[in-house]
Amino acid sequence: MTAPARRISLTGIKPTGIPHLGNYVGAIRPAIELARDYDAFYFIADYHALTTIRDPGELDLYTRSVAATWVACGLDPERVTLYRQSDVPETFELQWVLSCMTAKGMMNRAHAYKAARDRNREAGLDEDDGVSMGLYNYPVLMAADIIVMGADVVPVGRDQIQHVEYARDIAERFNQAYGDRFALPVPEHVTSSDGDRNTLPGLDGRKMSKSYDNAIPLFGDARSTRKLVRRITTDSTPVEDPKDPDSSTLFALYAPFADAAEQEELRARMRAGGMGWGTLKDLVADRLEEHLSGPRARYDELMEDRAQLDAILAAGGARARERASALVGSVRAAVGIA
Ligand code: TRP
């Protein structure tokens, strides 16, 4: 008997910045863990980034930075297919077919588009002011990313669940029309069982995010990382007083890099009092450095050696494309375009 084919997991990261600690703990690390049990396809959604990035040098830099980050964080490109969205042009062919299966009304309700419209309304502007067709169609392209690889599960953060639900809906509509000729796999989202624990706070205590300007870059050099940790907002609790780990940004940054026993130990020390915020900041910075110095060396190497990174992406792109073109071939035949 042959072993059953492994299920497919797929996720993408939009290259709109240099990855930060929140991206690592919330998305990259859980996806790498998931890849142990799945046939994984992870990609850099470079064309998606075009909805916001206008500088070609930046798009290139962020694309390489996200790719190098995946590898530096332990993704094994021999086992996981790592590729650029733009290296799979079949995605864009499928996107058209899928957009013909997509209800416009559903797109009007997409979170990102609705938020843009609400902001415009509040500002007294035309509803669609500054809204490109790229922003509007974003969820259809994402559905194509997912469906073109025949993904079963899509690890995403909460903010992306609606997009995966749209992909399901779109696949189901295709299947209603053509399922007797060819049925698309219907994907489902998975969010990490850790839930909120995977959302890191940033320097100001709000969710770490590039748009809040409160992020700690994942692979900044040791000195700048320590400086940023020192800038984390703390309250004026005196050194000798007990401190509450559960409301502390510093504890939240320590926890993902410590095992259960170490977390308990730090909780106890904070609650006992006698430990000042400065000491805690040093402890967090030391811990980050222990975990990140090895991966950072690999990241720097890949960012300097363009050929090495290109070779990894080219190999992944070829594997991804082979799979995508088989699926798009079946879709063409199903709709009557041989
Ligand atoms: N929209 C995702 C984000 O902003 C990125 C993305 C694009 C993606 N295509 C995808 C994620 C397909 C999962 C599957 O984070």
Instruction: Identify whether residues 279 and 313 lie together within a single domain.
Output: no
**Domain count along the chain:** 2
Give the rounded percent of residues in the chain with a pLDDT score beyond 70: 97
CB distance 48 to ligand 1 below 6 Å: yes
CB distance 189 to ligand 1 below 6 Å: no
CB distance 292 to ligand 1 below 6 Å: no
Residue 192 — pLDDT band, cuts 50, 70, 90?
confident
195 has a pLDDT exceeding 90: no
* The pLDDT value given to residue 1: 54
Instruction: Identify whether residues 59 and 181 lie together within a single domain.
Output: yes
Structural domain includes residue 1: no
Residue 196 — pLDDT band, cuts 50, 70, 90?
low
Structural domain includes residue 2: no
Instruction: Identify whether residues 184 and 134 lie together within a single domain.
Output: yes
Instruction: Identify whether residues 29 and 178 lie together within a single domain.
Output: yes
Question: Looking up tokens 């000195």, which residue turns up?
Answer: 223
pLDDT tens digits, 132-171: 999 999 999 999 999 999 999 999 988 899 999 999 999 9
Q: How far is the CA of 155 from the centre of ligand 1 (A)?
A: 10
What is the DSSP annotation of 36-49?
Answer: TTSEEEEEE-HHHH
Structural domain includes residue 139: yes
Structural domain includes residue 144: yes
Q: Which amino acid is at 204?
A: D
Task: Decide: 312 and 44 in contact? Cβ < 8 Å.
Answer: no
Instruction: Identify whether residues 113 and 193 lie together within a single domain.
Output: yes
To test the pocket of ligand 1, the residue of 48, 88, 189 to mutate (highest count of ligand atoms within 8 Å of its CB) is 48
Biggest alpha carbon distance in the chain?
76
> Which residue, judged by its Cα, is nearest atom 11 of ligand 1?
12
Instruction: Identify whether residues 162 and 91 lie together within a single domain.
Output: yes
Structural domain includes residue 38: yes
Instruction: Identify whether residues 311 and 293 lie together within a single domain.
Output: no
Structural domain includes residue 137: yes
Q: How far is the CA of 13 from the centre of ligand 1 (A)?
A: 6
Instruction: Identify whether residues 130 and 81 lie together within a single domain.
Output: yes
Mean pLDDT computed over every residue of the chain: 95
Structural domain includes residue 205: no
Rounded distance between C-alpha atoms, residue 216 and residue 200, angstroms: 10
* The pLDDT value given to residue 338: 85
What is the DSSP annotation of 149-218?
Answer: TT-SEEE--GGGHHHHHHHHHHHHHHHHHHTTT--PPPPEEE--TTGGGG--B-TTSSBP-GGGT---BT
Domain range for 270: 210-298
pLDDT tens digits, 39-53: 999 999 999 999 999
Structural domain includes residue 324: yes
Instruction: Identify whether residues 288 and 310 lie together within a single domain.
Output: no
pLDDT tens digits, 226-269: 999 999 999 889 999 999 999 999 999 999 999 999 999 999 99
Under DSSP, the state recorded for 193 is T
Instruction: Identify whether residues 61 and 117 lie together within a single domain.
Output: yes
CATH number at residue 60: 3.40.50.620
Instruction: Identify whether residues 26 and 127 lie together within a single domain.
Output: yes
CB distance 142 to ligand 1 below 6 Å: yes
194 has a pLDDT exceeding 70: no
CATH number at residue 290: 1.10.240.10
Q: Please identify, by atom number, the ligand 1 atom nearest to the C-alpha of residue 45.
A: 7
